Amino acid sequence: MTSRHGKSRRMKTLHQPPTDPAFVQDPYPFYAKARDAGALHYWQDYDMVAAFRKSAVHMLLRDRRFGREIPAEMAAPGPAHLAPFLAVEAHSLLDAEPPRHTRLRKLVMRAFTSRAIAALEADIAQLCHDLIDAFPDQPFDLLQAYCTQVPIVTICRLLGVPEEMAPQLLDWSHRMVAMYQAGRTEETEHSAAEASAAFSDYLRSYIDQRRSDPQDDLITRLIAAEEAGDSLTTDELIGTCILLLNAGHEATVHALGNGVKTMLEQGWDPAWLTEDGIDQLVEEILRYDPPLHMFTRYAYEEAEVFGHTFQRGDQVALLLGAANRDPAVLDDPEVFNPSRPAKTNTSFGGGLHFCVGAPLARLEMRIALPILFQRCPDLRLAEKPEYSDSYHFHGLTRLMVSR
């Protein structure tokens, strides 16, 4: 295949609409066929080359010839109606490359410390118990009653914003995150822009408040973070807070939801939830059915990768969900087995852009799963769970359970 996406001697073209109902419910057979046929293929529906094998995804996550930031000559002003959304994106750590990324990440990590995350442990445990105390007796949606509440309330507490704002923050977040989903429309764009403007206005006011009334929270620490006399601008603070909230709850909600679904379908073992077993359970959940399935990169120079030559500006899709089930690096990868020795999975990315919130997400899962199953040992599915049409995210619409 030879195209504007570079050249390759062995490139196959794949056809798979990401909104196809069968794919939405189970994308793994498509991944398996693609992996069997090679490391890289042209995914026509996305109009870009995609990496399916662990070797290719692992390499591309770390290859500095590729990055998240659009090449300067390709950057163009977006449509006027998207201006508020694009303004937030412009100051996001997620889409920055060095030296800007180095500066932003260093400042963020000075505030988002392992000590600050570890200090949340008792609060998260108490929150889990409080949520379970409020479970109804009749069948209910665990996704809303527990899996969503644990991360959103935790990130509110970490940032220092009022917990009663959680429903509003969720609404803004969902509308913004919809921009990354297949099937995006102009209506999606207008909704995301409105949410971005409202979210930014709220945080700007709240940051001003914290400047004059500092507290023991992440926003105060972000305001105070300095590196060689440099600090975050207000726009960077807003972009960072929105990224931490959007990414900090979206992934954990669906990691918890997908994990509980899988455990209930498989028949969970109490040994998985012991102090010795919980870390392996968390890693297996993240590997087996991760909440994010695709991440993209731009090529910054001509680069040959697995027999394909990328040109500057070409995009490549990294299929995290496919890499996690590669039989070349894992025995029986289609089997959910929390007793297997934990290996590095790609669910939080890798390299320069490895997710800054990964330690918090893992902590929430390590606490929330044992408490849930200890308190509700008879938990069972009340109806067949369905995944939402939100690719390249992969999470449930709801998780109806009885106890």
Per-residue pLDDT 10s for the chain (403 aa) are 444 555 555 689 999 999 999 999 999 999 999 999 999 999 999 999 999 999 999 999 999 999 999 999 999 888 999 999 999 999 999 999 999 999 999 999 988 888 889 999 999 999 999 999 999 999 999 999 999 999 999 999 999 999 999 999 999 999 999 999 998 999 999 999 999 999 999 999 999 999 999 999 999 999 999 877 899 999 999 999 999 888 878 889 999 999 999 999 999 999 999 999 999 999 999 999 999 999 999 999 999 999 999 999 999 999 999 999 999 999 999 999 999 987 778 999 999 999 999 999 999 999 999 999 999 999 999 999 999 999 999 999 999 999 9
Neighbours of 91 (CB within 10 A): 22
Dihedral sign for Cα 370, 374, 375, 377, please. positive
Please, are residues 224 and 116 in contact by the beta-carbon 8 Å criterion? no
Task: Please choose, from the candidates 56, 250, 111, the residue with its C-alpha nearest in 3D space to the C-alpha of residue 172.
Answer: 250
Alpha helices in 274-398 (DSSP H): 278-288, 320-323, 358-375
Q: What domains can you pick out in the chain, each with its CATH number?
A: 2-402 (1.10.630.10)
Rounded to whole angstroms, how far apart are CA atoms 260 and 399? 9
SS3 label, residue 398: strand
Q: Give the angle 340-341-346 at the CA atoms, nearest 5°.
A: 95
Q: What is the dihedral of CA 322, 326, 331, 333, to 10 degrees?
A: 10
Rounded to whole angstroms, how far apart are CA atoms 52 and 39? 6
Task: Please choose, from the candidates 188, 220, 339, the residue with its C-alpha nearest in 3D space to the C-alpha of residue 274.
Answer: 339
Rounded to whole angstroms, how far apart are CA atoms 345 and 351? 12
Q: Distance of CA 304 to CAs 7, 60, 308, 322, 351, Å?
A: 9, 11, 5, 21, 19
Residue-level pLDDT at 5: 56
Please, are residues 100 and 233 in contact by the beta-carbon 8 Å criterion? no
The pTM for the full model equals: 0.94
Q: In sequence order, what are the beta bridge partners of 140?
A: 401
Residue-level pLDDT at 342: 76
Residue 231 backbone phi and psi in degrees, to 5 = -145, 175
Please, are residues 369 and 259 in contact by the beta-carbon 8 Å criterion? yes
Please, are residues 394 and 293 in contact by the beta-carbon 8 Å criterion? yes
Rounded to whole angstroms, how far apart are CA atoms 392 and 400? 23
SS3 label, residue 53: coil
Dihedral sign for Cα 261, 265, 270, 274, please. negative
Rounded to whole angstroms, how far apart are CA atoms 309 and 35? 19
346 contacts: CB under 8 Å, gap ≥ 6: 54, 57, 58, 61, 318, 320, 323, 324
Residue 69 per-residue DSSP state: S
Rounded to whole angstroms, how far apart are CA atoms 287 and 107? 30
20 contacts: CB under 8 Å, gap ≥ 6: none
Residue-level pLDDT at 2: 40
Helices first, then strands: H and E counts in the chain:
16, 17
Residue-level pLDDT at 248: 75
Residue 260 backbone phi and psi in degrees, to 5 = -65, -40
Rounded to whole angstroms, how far apart are CA atoms 201 and 164? 17
Rounded to whole angstroms, how far apart are CA atoms 280 and 336? 11
